[in-house]
Structure 1
Amino acid sequence: MPRNHEVTTKHPLLDNKGELSEPGWSRSLLQKYDRSMIKAPKWRIKEWDYYLVLSDEFAGAFTISDDGYIGLQSVSLLTFGDKPWEHTETVLNAFPMGKINLPSSSESGITKYEDKRLQMKFEVLEGKRHITCHLENFHEGKPFDCNIYLEQPDMDSMVIATPWDKKHAFYYNQKINCMRASGYMQYDGKKYEFNPASDFGTLDWGRGVWTYDNTWHWGSGNSDIDGNTFGFNIGYGFGNTKAATENVIFYNGKAHKLDDITFHIPESSYMDPWKFTSSDGRFEMDFIPVLDRAACLDYKIIVSDQHQVFGKMSGTAILDDGTKIHVKDMMCFAEKVHNKY
């Protein structure tokens, strides 16, 4: 059965009891997030901004987050050449509980984190986003720097509001795909420059109250296909999706809603070929992994087992009007993450 209730009016995200007023999906942030309306303890609130900027040859990922009893700020550099390579550096903060002051909307404001080692800022400008970062001793004693612009014309995004099966717990999330990227990253004497004709950034903006033990699947990618912008967001495991899934195709700024997607991850290895299938037949893809950005943390109370796999996707996606889009060797990622936190 299709699960695709679309929210179309502006109103507060939470009611007076601290529960979602209207579970569903929307094309923009129609439901207003207000941290003071949350009824759960402060240490259960999770807020984050995550940017991924991706080309066929390299990528950068940037996170500023306040996850209640822990803050997690991270920078990743990935290269996909003959010998794929990645390095992630993470700064942890104890009990930020709102002190990082992430904006209540993705549509304006500045998200920033600063200490002696790391200065990172995400700024919303007119029709674009600006990412700057300087990190001392990123790897082998050498610093990392970036100065990146992402174009954001008037276009649809994917917004989801789902409850967890626990009182006062909810997931409010926006994915903005297909933002053309320019600017550069710099590390170890090498400059990695983004080309807006072919390279894109994605924003994963999230606010909510999570349950403790969760496993999710998420995949995302963007490309230019014959002069048309194409992107997708697929995933599950983020709360109760009875009202709506977060599966969407983006084509020239418009969102095309999908039903259920299944990730077929080989048991043999994350680096073996994957498949993606859809309940409505509108997203059928093969995926050839290039790099597994694997991370496993086990602090007993806080456990994280992550596999963010970058690779090339080929197959077909079908728009709302039946138009078939042929995808060939599109660089993207898909992940499976298990967290206790």
Structure 2
Amino acid sequence: MGRRIVERELTEEVALCLPSGRLNPDAVGWSRTPLHDTSGIGGPTSWGRNKRWEYWAVTTPTHIVSLTVSSLDYASVHGIMIHDIRSGRTVERGAVAPLSGSATLAARLGAGPARARTRSLSIDIDESAGGTRLRGRSADVAFDITAERPDGHEVLAVVVPWSQKRFQYTVKDVARPSVGWLELAGDRVELPVGESWAVLDHGRGRWPYRMQWNWGAASGTVDGRTIGLQLGGRWTDGTGSTENGVLVDGTLHKISEELGWDYDERDWLAPWHIHGTGVDLTFVPFWDHTSSTELVVFGSRGHQCFGHYSGWVDTTEGRIRVDALLGWAEDVRNRW
């Protein structure tokens, strides 16, 4: 079962880094809105260890869309993917460019656009008062989707401290209602209103060279309520921080517990079990999105399985039922 820990909720803005570039101890904790100034990430300090990215995934009853804009200092890694759940067809376009010139990433979340520009693809992420516009284009794929931001919508923002020199600030923003369209091989599809959801993974930090993690997320409606799951494991273990929470009608309920993740690495489509004292979820995948990249200094192997969550999560308002909530669970091992 899981292990409960004590975490500090932050309510005022704070700098992630000290002037020296080390972790600011006052920044360690979690918040319901993005409060951290991450402008200290990047530049010559700890060059090669700085990692910055924006990852979005959008789920609908018929399609899955994802996009990545990232800078790893010595390389920029970008990607676009559209998967048709009905036919099983997937079109994926990726680009790896030297250094960070192909990536535009704001110093902190919401402070400016994120963009990727390479010969093979373009991605634009733009903030507005009512949400975030996500646009991407490459051979055989295109999309223009707005992830709406309802009034009072909360996020889970967490600082994970491995040491004074190695740390990560992550914002996981789940259950964002989405509208717009996607194109797959020339066929345009309008996103069904009320059944389309976006999830953000915003990251700024300085990482160890090798790392493994689990991440799970899901969004949808259950019993007339909007539910968003945010689950993480392995990479946060032993740090005193977790990235676990459940969003209910826009309000975040923090889960301060290291959860157990049980799954079969010989059969990725077998049911997964994610559990703790206040969480008991079964995840049943229908598609394993595998990835593998091996370059000189960068390598990544991942299984991002898409499927449905069922079970329950305890909150301060009582036990929340989860039933057939569409999302994903992943196992990733990076050398970067």
Tell me the TM-score normalised to structure 2 length: 0.92
Residues 211 and 61 (structure 1 numbering): CA distance in 2 closer, same or farther, change over 3 Å? same
Pick which of 168-177 and 98-107 moved more.
98-107
Say if 1:236 and 1:277 are closer, same or farther in 2 by CA, change over 3 A.
same
User: In structure 2, which of residues 89, 94, 97 is the aligned counterpart of residue 90 of structure 1?
Assistant: 94
1:11 Cα deviation from its structure 2 partner: 1.9
Provide, for residues 66-97 of structure 1, a one-character-per-residue CA deviation record: whole Å limited to 9, x for no partner. 1111100100111222x53433211111122x
Q: Deviations over 1:283-310 (max 9, x none)?
A: 2111111000011222353221100000
C-alpha displacement of 1:35: 2.7
Amino acid at match of 1:235: G
Q: Deviations over 1:79-120 (max 9, x none)?
A: 222x53433211111122x77331122224211122343221
Structure 2 CA distance for aligned equivalents of residues 119 and 303 of structure 1: 23
- CA shift, 1:331, in A, is 1.2
Q: 2:215 aligns with which of 203, 206, 218?
A: 218
> Would you say 1:273 and 2:271 are equivalent positions?
yes
- Decide whether aligned partners of structure 1 residues 37 and 63 sit closer, same or farther in structure 2, where only a CA change above 3 A counts: closer
| Unmatched runs of 5 consecutive residues or more in structure 2 | none
Contact 1:170–1:239 at 8 Å: present in 2 too?
no
Query: What residue in structure 2 maps to residue 208 of structure 1?
Result: 205
Once the two structures are TM-superposed, the CA of residue 122 in structure 1 deviates from its matched residue by 0.4
For residue 340 of structure 1, what is the aligned residue in structure 2? 335
User: Which amino acid counterpart does residue 129 of structure 1 have in structure 2?
Assistant: T
2:81 is matched with 76
Q: What is the CA–CA distance in structure 2 between the aligned matches of 1:123 and 1:272, rounded to whole Å?
A: 38
Q: Given the alignment of the two structures, is residue 295 of structure 1 paired with residue 291 of structure 2, yes or no? A: yes
Write the deviation string for residues 256-297 of structure 1: whole angstroms up to 9, x where unpaired. 11122221111431111111111x2x2211111100001122
Q: Which runs of 4+ in 1 moved over 6 A?
A: 36-39
Q: Which runs of 5+ in 1 are unaligned?
A: 138-142
Match of 2:259 in 1: 261
2:35 is aligned with what amino acid?
L
Identity of aligned residues (%): 22
Q: Deviations over 1:134-161 (max 9, x none)?
A: 11x3xxxxx2111101111232100011
TM-score of the aligned structures, taking structure 1 as reference length: 0.91
1:27 aligns with 2:24: no
Change (3 A) 1:115 1:32: same
Spell out the pairing of 1:41-52 with structure 2 (5 A cutoff): 41-52=46-57
Q: CA separation in 2, counterparts of 1:116 and 1:37?
A: 25
1:191 matched to 2:196: no
Q: Which residue of 2 aligns with 1:111?
A: 114
CA RMSD of the aligned region, Å? 1.9
Contact 1:179–1:200 (CA<8 Å) still a contact in 2? yes
- Secondary structure of the 1:73 match is strand
One-letter amino acid of the counterpart of residue 244, structure 1: S
Aligned length: 329
User: SS in structure 2 opposite 1:68?
Assistant: coil
CA contact (8 A) 1:173 1:207 kept: yes
